[in-house]
């Protein structure tokens, strides 16, 4: 296990705000290099942050950053992101598959274009970004792929609740765990990471439950701190796991999680889906 991400290069899909940005900022505090592949070139009327403001925050936190304006659904953009990352920082040590689309519509209500969007961003994006970076990961000293996706739970409760979204998130996990098996001999770690409670993000506020759910959610920092612990682990030993945020932190000695939900009793936190 290493004790710092200083000098490591992280290639992340998304990351303009929320959980992805929190993970990037945690790595930046060590002096990591961060490349963000995201579409948010200009401000959104309802959402804070662009890929450019995120890059500035990363630099302010102590890291180096490049903003690659592009879409993880576009193969040319993926290749350009990897090329620019390697050109700027000399390689890729870590891939974080953060970009994801959330749509909990039931099967008869889920429009084909929304189904395709989730498959393209969540599953295909995870597979293709990881695939494009793998030649460079294989040359890295402690390479990691980390996908923000859940353990594969075949309980009908989740399979039937929102089949389209469930398939897309499980697809992220399957791609990641498949690569863990395929590239184990090359020493490339690939793991998934998922929280037990909802996280204060725009998606939770706008799609899941509004301000009431936001108030009963933990801050993105809990995800970032857990991801940081994962990315420090020795890649050849710590791979092919469906990790839970709170369990990762407990293993690291962090048992008091109140810092991530100030003023909210543990019993009042809203459980996340899939667990």
> Residues with catalytic annotation?
165
How far apart, in whole angstroms, are the C-alpha atoms of residue 210 and residue 202? Answer: 9
User: How buried is 215 (Cβ within 10 angstroms: 0-12 exposed, 13-18 middle, 19+ buried)?
Assistant: middle
Torsion from C-alpha of 192, 119, 196, 250, nearest 10 degrees? 10
Strand order in the sheet with 33-38: 64-69, 33-38, 9-13, 94-97, 144-147, 189-194, 242-244
What DSSP character marks residue 264? -
The conformational region for residue 54 under phi > 0 = left, psi -120 to 50 = alpha, else beta, is alpha
The conformational region for residue 204 under phi > 0 = left, psi -120 to 50 = alpha, else beta, is alpha
């Amino acid at each position: 296990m290493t004790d710092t991400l200083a000098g490591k290069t992280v290639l992340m899909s998304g990351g303009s705000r929320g959980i992805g940005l929190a993970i990037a900022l945690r790595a930046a505090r060590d002096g990591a290099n961060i490349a963000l592949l995201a579409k948010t070139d200009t401000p959104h009327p309802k959402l804070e942050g662009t890929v450019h403001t995120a890059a500035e925050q990363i630099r302010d936190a102590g890291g180096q950053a490049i903003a690659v304006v592009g879409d993880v659904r576009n193969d040319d953009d993926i290749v350009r992101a990897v090329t620019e990352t390697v050109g700027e920082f000399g390689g890729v040590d870590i891939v974080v598959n953060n970009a994801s689309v959330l749509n909990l519509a039931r099967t008869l209500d889920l429009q084909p274009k929304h189904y395709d969007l989730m498959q393209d961003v969540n599953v295909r994006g995870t597979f293709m970004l990881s695939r494009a970076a793998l030649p460079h990961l294989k040359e890295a000293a402690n390479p990691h792929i980390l996908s923000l996706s859940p353990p594969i739970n075949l309980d009908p409760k989740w399979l039937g609740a929102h089949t389209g979204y469930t398939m897309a998130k499980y697809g992220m996990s399957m791609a990641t765990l498949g690569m863990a098996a395929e590239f184990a001999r090359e020493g490339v770690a690939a793991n998934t990471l998922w929280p037990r409670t909802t996280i204060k993000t725009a998606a939770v506020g706008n799609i899941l439950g509004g301000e009431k759910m936001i108030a009963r959610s933990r801050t993105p920092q809990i995800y970032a701190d857990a991801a940081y612990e994962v990315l420090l682990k020795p890649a050849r030993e710590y791979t092919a796991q469906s990790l839970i945020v709170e369990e990762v932190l407990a293993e690291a000695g962090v048992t008091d999680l109140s810092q991530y939900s100030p003023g909210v009793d543990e019993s009042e936190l809203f459980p996340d889906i899939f667990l």
